[in-house]
């Protein structure tokens, strides 16, 4: 490295910090549903069948090309790629590789919400971090810290633990109170998860929380009651799910990523889908910055 040259970020947290310095907070969810991709991007085989891998990759490539300058991260949800079998997984591999080639300073977060016993997690980890080469992953905490250690020990990667998710039925388990009424320990499960991640699981300094933007009051509560200042927050639920940008930003305060998927990548069904996606990213990021 020559004198005066700025060192390239080495791990996920450094990549994230570097984007925040530039006031970039939008994470584009690459939930690339083959059925919703504009007809202009569909690639056919010589036999006239849809080439799923080429179609999905072509679509993702256009989205990344138009938005990379303005985003904080990309987050492909594994389900949309598994739905197309080997062709979908091939498109996912091509997509991650493309992002690493054209925008190596932008982290990629794989969203599978994995979590199993340790030996199984080793296999998941190898696929995500060694085969795909993503920078971070989402996991669920139900099996406890010991089962997640293969992930938690990867200090070079980001581990986002589900705490309060954005779906309407999230409270069925996440809002269950864990103590007796009136007891000091009587609090909902999602707060227990947040506290464990913040105080116990984050030994390698690589943990974050997934917290739905559809629940800004709960988000504000854990920011006040639990020391989360060092934990980055991945905030899904803006856009199609109805999360309010101002309430979310004011509740989160700092160190967060606002994810939007369908509201960006499928904002247009025509040939201009990528340029429209760029406009949506810019508009959302400007709105976020306005409330910081």
What torsion, rounded to 10 degrees, do the Cα atoms 105, 205, 291, 26 define? 30
Check if the beta carbon of residue 186 is closer than 8 Å to that of residue 180: yes
Residue 185, pLDDT score: 62
For the stretch 263-285, pLDDT in tens is 999 999 999 999 999 999 999 99
CA count, 13 A, side-chain hemisphere, 38: 19
Take residue 28 and report the two structure tokens written for it: 């584009």
Domain boundaries, the chain: 12-290
Contact (CB, 8 A) for 66 and 274: yes
Q: Of the listed 24, 35, 39, 113, which one is catalytic?
A: 113
Give the model's pLDDT for residue 180. Answer: 52
Q: Is the pLDDT of residue 163 over 60?
A: yes
Predicted confidence band of residue 7 (pLDDT cuts 50, 70, 90): low
**Mean pLDDT throughout 11-40?**
97
Tokens of 268: 């247009």
Average per-residue pLDDT for the chain: 91
Asked about 113 being catalytic, the answer comes back as yes
Better-scored residue on pLDDT, 241 or 190:
190
Kindly report whether the global pTM for this prediction surpasses the value 0.85. Answer: yes
Give me the pLDDT at residue 1, please: 42
Q: Which fold has domain 12-290?
A: TIM Barrel (3.20.20)
What pLDDT was estimated at residue 169? 80
Query: What is the percent of the chain with per-residue pLDDT over 70, rounded to a whole number?
Result: 92
pLDDT digits (tens, 9 = 90+) for 71-113: 999 999 999 999 999 999 999 999 999 999 999 999 999 999 9
d(CA 144, CA 142): 6
CB 23 within 8 A of CB 169: no
């Amino acid at each position: 490295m020559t004198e005066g040259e700025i060192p390239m970020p080495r791990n996920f947290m450094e990549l994230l910090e570097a984007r925040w310095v530039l006031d970039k907070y939008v994470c584009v969810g690459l939930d690339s549903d083959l059925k919703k991709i504009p007809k202009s991007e569909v690639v056919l085989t010589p036999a006239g069948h849809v080439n799923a891998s080429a179609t999905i990759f072509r679509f993702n490539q256009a989205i990344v090309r138009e938005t990379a300058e303005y985003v904080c991260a990309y987050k492909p949800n594994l389900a949309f790629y598994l739905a197309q079998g080997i062709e979908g997984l091939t498109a996912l591999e091509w997509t991650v590789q493309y992002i690493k080639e054209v925008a190596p300073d932008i982290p990629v977060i794989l969203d599978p919400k994995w979590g199993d016993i340790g030996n199984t997690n080793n296999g998941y980890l190898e696929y995500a971090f060694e085969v795909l080469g993503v920078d971070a992953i989402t996991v669920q905490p139900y099996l406890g810290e010991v089962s997640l250690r293969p992930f938690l020990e990867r200090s070079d990667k980001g581990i986002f633990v589900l705490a309060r998710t954005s779906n309407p039925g999230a409270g069925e388990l996440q809002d269950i109170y864990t103590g007796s009424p009136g007891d000091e320990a009587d609090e909902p499960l999602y707060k227990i998860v947040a506290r464990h991640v913040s105080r116990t699981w984050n030994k390698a300094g690589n943990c974050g929380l997934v917290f739905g933007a559809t629940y800004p009051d709960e988000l504000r509560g854990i920011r006040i009651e639990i020391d989360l200042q060092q934990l980055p927050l991945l905030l899904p639920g803006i856009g199609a799910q109805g999360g309010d940008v101002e309430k979310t930003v004011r509740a989160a305060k700092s160190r967060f990523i606002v994810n939007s998927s369908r509201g960006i990548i499928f904002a247009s069904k025509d040939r201009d889908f990528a340029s429209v996606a760029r406009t949506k990213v810019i508009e959302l990021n400007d709105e976020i910055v306005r409330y910081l």
